[in-house]
Amino acid sequence: MDWLVPLADLDYGAEEETAVRDVLHSRWLTMGGVTQEFENEFAQFTGARHAIAVSNATVALHLAMLALGIGPGDEVIAPSLTFVATTNAVLYAGADVRFADIVGPCDLTIAPAEIEKQITPRTRAIVVMHYGGYAGRMDAILDIAARHKLAVIEDAAHAPGAKFDGRALGTLGDVGCFSFFSNKNLSTGEGGMLVTGRDDLAAKVRLLRSHGMTTLTWDRHQGHAHSYDVTALGYNYRIDELRSALGRAQLAKLEKGNARRREITARYWDALEGIGLELPFRGAFRGAGGSPAASACHLFPVLLPPDADRAAFMDGLRAAGIQTSIHYPPIHCFSYYRERYPGVALPLTEAVAAREVTLPLYPTMSDAQVEMVIAAVRAGGPVVRNHRLNEVETR
């Protein structure tokens, strides 16, 4: 479809083209010097001690599990209102997932009190997903983790450039995982980054990223080594120089892009108030991690009234040329997970997921496009307008 306003769009220009051309001219395509520079710049940007570039965020999450020694017999607590990769990574490692519910309609991140309910003697780690780029309840979660000696893994796929108490999301727990998939705030097509402050984890991740080999092809090319040993069962989870070059160009634009995302979010919040929608994260723990000032504003979620016809609402926007999406169908409701973990019930996750619609949000969105979305949502017709607004708003 040719959308007037797509859900997301790349912020690509001459910088990206030059970056890729330079790599092509260098005649070195696989992981090497450009990747090292990308890692150094990302480490500096986030304040992380180690930043390790990988093929995508899914493998970053897998490596996080492996580096933490999580495996068969272990349990990892995770949200269900997230992309399926968040918990697939737990299963790749041979461990089991324990799903925990979200805080509620105003905060779609995992609830500390629900995490505590899922802790068993087998629990090893908590995964926090910073939904839409808004910080999870890190104070409480880090406190729970410390009391129960659990690791904290941050799925920061939505959150490059976001902060909590002045610290970059992804750097608060033991490991943070970022995605550079096309529709993320920083895009390289496929790509990801794992950050950690722990030297032991960084060493394991570097080893497992490349087959468990003690030296890289790049090291040998540079004359630093002639051979290698294999000291662990590793993988090929490397990134390449073309993507790292795109990543460097995109990192240079990230702050500006995030600022524009915050501006659009603030405009949406003002313009979409009082029409029967709930606006998650608006005013939720303002001044702490959840204010738009600290968010990477990756997504703009709205919640329709509980009995609204979501398909009709989305069809109405599509007819106006506006693309929308749903974040997310809960993981525990997918066939595979239902069979594997029958009987999981997460009332808040299920209720919110049934009402959620994600509106377009990307840095190159024009003011006219933002107003087009606002007008279409406000006209959103029978679906939203006919609801008794007060009932929704005073709940």
Ligand X SMILES: *Cc1c(COP(=O)(O)O)cnc(C)c1O
| Positions marked active-site | 184
- C-beta of 193 vs 384, nearer to ligand X: 193
- C-beta of 80 vs 210, nearer to ligand X: 80
Count the Cβ atoms, other than its own, within 10 Å of residue 92: 16
Asked if 42 touches ligand X (CB under 6 A), the answer is no
Applying CB under 6 A, among 77, 115, 129, 195 the residue interacting with ligand X is 129
Asked if 57 touches ligand X (CB under 6 A), the answer is yes
- C-beta of 246 vs 372, nearer to ligand X: 246
Applying CB under 6 A, among 5, 23, 35, 58 the residue interacting with ligand X is 58
Stretch that binds ligand X, among 52-60, 101-109, 216-224, 383-391 (CB under 6 A): 52-60
Asked if 181 touches ligand X (CB under 6 A), the answer is yes
Tell me the C-alpha distance between 352 and 306, whole Å: 9
Q: Which residue has the tokens 């892009």?
A: 257
Encoded one letter per residue, x for contact with ligand X by CB under 6 A and - for no contact, window 108-127 reads: --------------------
Asked if 186 touches ligand X (CB under 6 A), the answer is no
Stretch that binds ligand X, among 53-61, 220-228, 254-262, 382-390 (CB under 6 A): 53-61
Asked if 65 touches ligand X (CB under 6 A), the answer is no
Residue type, 24: L
- C-beta of 57 vs 172, nearer to ligand X: 57
Tell me the C-alpha distance between 380 and 386, whole Å: 10
Encoded one letter per residue, x for contact with ligand X by CB under 6 A and - for no contact, window 72-111 reads: ----------xx-xx-------------------------
The dihedral sign for the CA sequence 359, 361, 364, 370: positive
By CB neighbour count within 10 A (0-12 exposed, 13-18 middle, 19+ buried), where does 319 fall? Answer: exposed
Stretch that binds ligand X, among 105-113, 151-159, 263-271, 313-321 (CB under 6 A): 151-159
Q: Say if CB 106 and CB 269 are below 8 A apart.
A: no
- C-beta of 82 vs 295, nearer to ligand X: 82
CB of 352 to ligand X, least distance (A): 16
Gap between the terminal Cα atoms of the chain: 38
Q: Say if CB 132 and CB 325 are below 8 A apart.
A: no
Stretch that binds ligand X, among 11-19, 55-63, 106-114, 300-308 (CB under 6 A): 55-63
Asked if 210 touches ligand X (CB under 6 A), the answer is no
Of residues 225 through 284, those in contact with ligand X by CB under 6 A are: none
Tell me the C-alpha distance between 151 and 173, whole Å: 7
- C-beta of 185 vs 380, nearer to ligand X: 185
Asked if 317 touches ligand X (CB under 6 A), the answer is no
48: its two tokens: 């992380």
The phi and psi torsions of 264 (rounded to 5 degrees) equal -65, -40
Peptide bond just before 328 cis, omega within 30 deg: yes
Q: What is the DSSP string of 227-275?
A: ---B-S---B---BHHHHHHHHHHHHHHHHHHHHHHHHHHHHHHHTTTS
Tell me the C-alpha distance between 394 and 276, whole Å: 10
- C-beta of 56 vs 369, nearer to ligand X: 56
Number of residues that bind ligand X (CB under 6 A): 14
Q: Say if CB 78 and CB 85 are below 8 A apart.
A: no
Q: Which residue has the tokens 């090929």?
A: 236
Binding site for ligand X (CB under 6 A): 56-58, 82-83, 85-86, 129, 155, 157-158, 179, 181, 192
